[in-house]
Structure 1
Amino acid sequence: MSANLDDIRDQQRETWDKFSAGWKKWDSLVLGWLAPFGDTMIRSANLSNSFSVLDVAAGTGEPGLTAAAAIPDGHVTVTDLSENMLAAAAENAAKRGLKNFETRLCDAGALPFADASFDAVLCRFGFMFFPDIATAAKEMARVAKPGARICAAVWSTPAKNPWAATIMDTIARHVEMPSPPAGSPGLFRCAPEGMMVETFREAGLLDVAEEEVSTMMVHDAPERYWDFMAEIAAPVVAGLSRADTATREKIRREVLELALQFVSDGKVHLRSTATVIIGTR
């Protein structure tokens, strides 16, 4: 791995370790919000009760936890670059009484598993942050058994994701943010049409297909939306850190006002859309 990719990997580890407390705090909300994407992946993986499943970049444990509950006679290994995230995943597994679940600290670009080790491989919202997307895809293909499904989810375009665009666009109007180099890790890095299909095919996967999945991020009030994003979203925290106190408060007021446009039945509903990509080893 080049020095530049090493730097990106180390930065990602530092970021996710730093934000692990926020993710743990908001875990129940995140689990419910992101569940439809993981459920689609699990359905597409055609899990069997005896399967050995790998969940790459699983953070606090999903969708690996749900997979483990679905295949009590199988086994699920979840990986992440952040030790703190994996500690939360292990705690979540213990709370659910899952005995067929283990964690492994590792880089998605260098998976510490033998060839053809797993009957299914999952990766929900990890590819956007990998230093080298192509290498990660090839590693997942390498550790998958012949005929195994590899299923990933990546965020679609900002226009289809007001949960993120509402606050990020507001920050961008008030704070001068440096333009990241092309291909840098980010929420919408994998959104271009056909990008992940091509990546899977180049990794040697067959019968590659896509499915768009949408759900809602729901908050009890605009203030809860602001608190959530300010505590778990690294790009939001980075943007707000460049604002002085007055500018930050102005951004907050505008975001709260914008969030009111998404209120129905007394709660804030923000559309969230991802692409699920499926390929066969």
Structure 2
Amino acid sequence: MSVAADKIRNRQRIIWDKFAAGWKKWDAELLDWQRPFGAAVIQGAGLRLDSTVLDVASGTGEPGLTAAALVPGGGVELTDISAGMLQVAQEKASTLGMGNVRFRVCDAAELPFDDGTFDAVLCCFGLMFFPDMRAALREMVRTAKPGARISAAVWGRAAANPWASLVLGTLAQHTELPAPPADMPGLFRCSAPGFMTRLFRGVGLLAVQERTVSTDLVHDSPASYWEFMTDIATTVATGLALADEEARSLIRSDVFQMLGRYEHGGLLRLRSTATIVTGIRA
């Protein structure tokens, strides 16, 4: 494990712990918005009633908790680098009375499980943030049983995701927020056509397939959208922290103005598009 990767992981751990409260606050809205993506990842995993499942980068619990309800005779291990995010998942599982879930704070590139443990591995919007995606994916393959499916979601192109690109583009105009290098963690790092297929095939996965899933992020006002993004989007908060008070005011004003083009029937509807990729462990 490189020193640079360690630094990135430590910084990510701190940031995601900090943002756990925001994700808890907006849990219902996040679930409604991202449900189609989680459902697609689960569908790609081919779960049985007795499947043992690993959910990598589970955050506040999805799609792992949804998967757990589908495997009453099996179980799900939910893992994340952030103890704060995983604590929210544990609270939700306790409220739901779920007895077939376990939680483990760990790094995706060093999974604490034996070889060939799981019937399916899920990873929803985690891969693009891993410092070493191949190392993490190799760990998912290692811990999967022969014939197990690995199913993941990553964000598609920025142009197909105005829910994020609108505010990030505005930030870039008013701050010196640098664009991450192609090989560094970032929201749209895995968005190039065929990128995920090449990544999955590169670690030996078979029958790799990609498909696109889209939905809308819906808010009832620009103020609600702004609050949501500043509470849950780490890149947005980082950019705003680099701006002075005048620049932050301009950014907010510009975002509110541009949101007008996404108003339909009294609601804001911002397109959100993900690539779903699946592969089978040899």
Do both share a fold (TM > 0.5)?
yes
1:244-273 residue CA offsets vs partner (Å, 9 max, x unmatched):
111111110111111121111211100000
The share of aligned pairs that are identical, in percent, is 53
Letter in 2 for 1:55: D
Matches of 2:256 and 2:165, distance apart in 1: 13
Deviation at 1:196, TM superposition (A): 1.3
Deviations 1:73-94 (A, max 9, x none): 1101110000011100011111
Letter in 1 for 2:50: S
Computed over aligned residues only, the root mean square deviation of the Cα atoms, in angstroms, reads: 0.9
Paired residue type of 1:36: P
Task: Please give the TM-score of this superposition, normalised by the length of structure 1.
Answer: 0.98
Which amino acid counterpart does residue 23 of structure 1 have in structure 2? W
Q: Distance in 1 between matches of 2:112 and 2:225?
A: 38
- Hey, what's the Cα distance between the residues in 1 that align with 2:216 and 2:136? 29
Q: How far apart are the structure 1 equivalents of 2:205 and 2:54?
A: 16
Residue 170 of structure 1 is matched in structure 2 by 170
Aligned residue for 1:133?
Answer: 133
In 2: Cα distance, 1:257 partner to 1:70 partner: 43
3-state SS of 1:15 partner: helix
Cα separation, 1, equivalents of 2:14 and 2:132: 17
Q: Which amino acid aligns with 2:198?
A: E
Q: How many Å apart are 1:182 and its aligned residue?
A: 3.6
Please state whether the residue corresponding to 1:37 is helix, strand or coil: helix
2:249 aligned residue: 249
Provide the rounded CA distance (Å) in 1 between the counterparts of 2:245 and 2:266.
30
- The aligned counterpart of 2:113 is 113
Residue-pair matches, total: 281
What is the DSSP-based 3-state SS (H/G/I as helix, E as strand, rest coil) of the residue aligned with 1:189? Answer: coil
SS at match of 2:242: coil
Q: Aligned residue for 2:39?
A: 39
Counterparts of 1:102 and 1:217, CA distance in 2: 30
Letter in 1 for 2:211: E
Partner SS, residue 79 of structure 1 = strand
| 1:271 matched to 2:271 | yes
3-state SS of 1:103 partner? strand
What secondary structure does 2:235 align onto? helix
Structure 1: state its 5+ residue gaps. none
Q: Mean alpha-carbon deviation: is it higher for 89-98 or for 178-187?
A: 178-187
Which runs of 5 or more residues in structure 2 are unaligned? none
Which contiguous aligned blocks of 4+ residues in structure 1 show a shift greater than 4 angstroms? Answer: none
Aligned to 2:221: 221
C-alpha displacement at 1:180, in angstroms?
3.0
The one-letter code of the counterpart of 1:92 is: K
Structure 1 match to 2:180: 180
- The aligned runs of 1:81-100 (5 Å cut-off) are 81-100=81-100
Residues 14-53 of structure 1, C-alpha deviations (whole Å, 9 max, x = no match): 1111111111111111111111011011111111000000
- 1:190 and 2:181 are equivalent in the alignment: no
Q: Deviations over 1:219-246 (max 9, x none)?
A: 1111100111111111111111111111
